[in-house]
Amino acid sequence: MRQDILTLDNVCADIAQYHILHDINLNIPKGGVHVLLGRNGAGKTTTLRTIMGVLHAHSGSIKFDGQDITKYHSSDIAQMGVAYVPENMGIFGGLTVEENLRLAANKGKFDPVRLKRIYTLFPAIEKFWDKAAWSLSGGQKQMLAIARAIIEPRKLILIDEPTKGLAPSIIDNMIEAFHEFAKETTILLVEQNFHFASSLGETVNVVEDGKIIHSGDMKEFAQDKDLQTRLLSLSLDQHQ
């Protein structure tokens, strides 16, 4: 039995006066890519934000790598080795590509081996190294956001819809890149693109109305069209 790197136990969270997460129970095994699926507004992003400590759960507990991080400040969670790529990518447009990466690098110093690998995976990063980040295209920004997450070794990477608005060719590149990362870290991925999700995911968790309504193996889920229709109310094939 593999050890879980992340466990959410009956997590409830509110935004303003609205209850967004009702009762999230989630077990993410160490290593590989794990997918959170669900309709818009189901609570996927809120789940990631709560794990990251941007929002705080008002009840329940979150354990990461054996430690209870429920009440931790998001900077402390980041220090423990969790990286977060938000839906809007969180790129600092006024900073250069290099400065964006430097912020994420430990003490502002780059590890040459890792940097080299990023250059190989995402040549645009090297090409636009000194350019202001706002001038990048959507796909390039996404790559920068992901590069920022892998510039240091992380234990867990939370990624919110990395394929949103990207061209299919770029998405295929990204699948390759993610396979590469998954060898050394754990990725929790929120995704709408089922093609992307099913070619990467090892396990799948479906969120609906702030609860986990299905957890299981991705391969089985991908084959079970009825289950998909029932849980996501439309066949995800249409999404591609």
* Window contacting another protein (CB under 8 A); options: 81-89, 187-195, 210-218, 227-235: 81-89
Interface residue with another protein among 12, 14, 29, 86 (CB under 8 A) is: 86
For residues 128 to 167, the per-residue mask of contacts with another protein, x marking binding by CB under 8 A and - elsewhere, is ------x-------------x-------------------
Q: What are the structure tokens assigned to 185, written together?
A: 């870290």
Q: Rounded CA gap, 208 and 64, in Å?
A: 23
Q: Rounded CA gap, 199 and 194, in Å?
A: 8
Tell me the CA distances in angstroms from 191 to 32, 114, 150, 158, 161, one per residue in order.
15, 26, 19, 11, 5
**Nearest residue (CB) to another protein, 52 versus 190:** 52
Give the SS3 label for residue 95. coil
Judged by CB under 8 A, the chain residues 37 through 66 that form the site for another protein are 52, 54
∠18-193-88 over CA atoms, to 5°?
Answer: 55
Q: How many C-beta atoms lie closer than 10 Å to residue 112's C-beta?
A: 8
Q: Is 115 in the site for another protein (CB under 8 A)?
A: no
∠5-10-13 over CA atoms, to 5°?
Answer: 100
Sign of CA dihedral 95, 100, 106, 111: negative
Q: Is 110 in the site for another protein (CB under 8 A)?
A: no
Interface residue with another protein among 4, 12, 31, 95 (CB under 8 A) is: 95
Q: Is 219 in the site for another protein (CB under 8 A)?
A: no
* Window contacting another protein (CB under 8 A); options: 3-11, 99-107, 165-173, 189-197: 99-107
Q: Rounded CA gap, 180 and 105, in Å?
A: 20
* Window contacting another protein (CB under 8 A); options: 3-11, 59-67, 83-91, 176-184: 83-91
Q: What are the structure tokens assigned to 16, written together?
A: 């303003």
Q: Is 91 in the site for another protein (CB under 8 A)?
A: yes
Q: Which helix (H) or strand (E) holds 168?
A: helix 168-182
Cβ 77 to another protein, closest distance in Å? 8
**Nearest residue (CB) to another protein, 73 versus 230:** 73
Q: Which residues bind another protein (CB under 8 A)?
A: 16-17, 52, 54, 73-75, 78-79, 84, 86, 88, 90-95, 99, 102-104, 108, 134, 148
